[in-house]
Amino acid sequence: MRIRFWHPAAIASAATFFLTSFGVAAAEKGEIFLDKLNLPEGFKIEVYAKDVPNARHMTRGDKGTLFVGSMREGKVYAITDKNGDQKADEVKVIAEGLKLPTGVAFRDGDLYVSAVTSILRLDDIESRLDNPPEPVTITEQFPDKHHGWKYIAFGPDGWLYVPVGAPCNICDEKDYANIQRLKIEGDKVVKTETWAEGVRNTVGFTWHPQTKALWFTDNGRDLLGDDTPPCELNTAPVAGKHFGYPYCHAGDIVDPEFGEGKSCSAFVPPVQKLGPHVAPLGVKFYTGEQFPAEYRNQVLIAEHGSWNRSNKIGYRVTMVTLNDKGEATAYKPFIDGWLQGEENWGRPVDVLVMPDGALLVSDDYAGAIYRVSYEG
């Protein structure tokens, strides 16, 4: 088994790049420049909530509360719109001191939170926003490794789906690089199954509104150049499929370190190759009725943006258009402008379709949630 981990110097170089290129003060200020954003004709974008530091993944409670994980802040936020004007009235901290709590999922009145090794639960949370309960630990079964932060979501089958990212840039290590599902009863996990393998690091997945098949984004490996490999949009309608990592990338690129003797035809290719190093995270099918008909049941992806490419790409929300067979026919920007030249003022993380058909977009760089609506 060969393992290639990040060299400490590379990590330090990346950190220095971020600090010197964008400045600590600019990152903390969270300046928002809506006039820099480009949307299709008829669409409008507004700030739904600001002062949500490091806003990551989102879920919505039965009573309309928006819950947001905040990975680097160690906090979970509850955002309320009490007067129904489509703007947040209050942002509350309902949990803090957690380890990278990026993922949030809501079921039966309770909020589930991912915290690297653990899945936690805040019981009856929407009735207790002003006096939130102590988190209940459901499990601590996950490893504390690189790519340990987790997007989580309940599937149509009632199981909680949880990714286990590769503990490296590129390596072949057992029990990593997969998507698992957990059957939870009461305060315990009673069964764990592996749903998909060969998934380097998915930080966003969803289910097709008609077929109920699982769809997910996957972040491609680094250090093969600016344009190799593409990131991926995949679908796993049944359990047991292998998507190639670390042997094959994007369906047809044999890995130079781990691909010897392997054929890419043995693995499931992506539905759509995304931009190289765009870091696709949150993904949702548009299921609302507010947007024009051509958006219905199409795929919207938050691309967080490249960090080690010579020229930055990503920093946008894209749409993958599917035909009736579920085949991709187009991949193009839906919203861009968070990247201006080589400077970015925002980084999209997640997307969420609201009951009125508007789309929320979280931004962990500007610490904001945006609302996208269609006015025709």
Mean pLDDT by 10 residues, the chain (376 residues): 39 37 45 98 98 97 98 96 95 98 98 98 98 98 96 98 98 97 97 98 98 98 97 98 98 98 98 98 98 98 97 98 97 98 97 98 98 95
Report how far residue 103's alpha carbon sits from residue 111's, in angstroms, rounded to the nearest whole number. 10
Report how far residue 373's alpha carbon sits from residue 376's, in angstroms, rounded to the nearest whole number. 9
Q: What is the pLDDT of residue 376?
A: 85
Which residues have a Cβ under 8 Å from the Cβ of 174 and sit 6 or more positions away?
Answer: none
Q: What is the pLDDT of residue 338?
A: 98
Instruction: Provide the 3-class DSSP secondary structure of residue 26.
Output: helix
Q: What is the pLDDT of residue 98?
A: 98
Report how far residue 362's alpha carbon sits from residue 365's, in angstroms, rounded to the nearest whole number. 9
Q: What is the pLDDT of residue 18?
A: 37
Contact 232, 217 (CB under 8 A): yes
Which pair of structure tokens corresponds to residue 207?
């289910």
One-letter amino acid identity for 11? I
Q: Which helix (H) or strand (E) holds 24?
A: helix 24-29
Report how far residue 70's alpha carbon sits from residue 366's, in angstroms, rounded to the nearest whole number. 12
In sign, the C-alpha dihedral spanning 139, 140, 142, 145 is positive
Contact 171, 246 (CB under 8 A): yes
Architecture of domain 34-374: 6 Propeller (2.120)
For 15, phi then psi, to 5°, come to -65, -40
Contact 185, 136 (CB under 8 A): no
Give the start-to-end residue ranges of the domains of the chain: 34-374
Instruction: Provide the 3-class DSSP secondary structure of residue 10.
Output: helix
For 34, phi then psi, to 5°, come to -60, -30
Contact 155, 214 (CB under 8 A): yes
- 127: alpha, beta or left? (left if phi > 0; alpha if psi -120 to 50): alpha
Report how far residue 254's alpha carbon sits from residue 47's, in angstroms, rounded to the nearest whole number. 43
Q: What is the pLDDT of residues 33-77, one digit of tens each?
A: 999 999 999 999 999 999 999 999 999 999 999 999 999 999 999
Contact 240, 199 (CB under 8 A): no
Of the candidates 337, 218, 210, 345, the residue with the CA atom closest to the CA atom of residue 271: 218
Which pair of structure tokens corresponds to residue 102?
């990026």
Q: Which helix (H) or strand (E) holds 18?
A: helix 8-22
Q: What is the pLDDT of residues 244-292, one digit of tens each?
A: 999 999 999 999 999 999 999 999 999 999 999 999 999 999 999 999 9
Report how far residue 102's alpha carbon sits from residue 372's, in angstroms, rounded to the nearest whole number. 22
Strands 136-139, 153-154: pairing is unpaired
Q: What is the pLDDT of residue 161?
A: 99
Contact 317, 300 (CB under 8 A): yes
CA distances, 356 to each of 128, 213, 219, 233 (Å): 25, 24, 31, 27
Which pair of structure tokens corresponds to residue 349?
């993380």
Report how far residue 175's alpha carbon sits from residue 246's, in angstroms, rounded to the nearest whole number. 13
Q: What is the pLDDT of residue 16?
A: 36
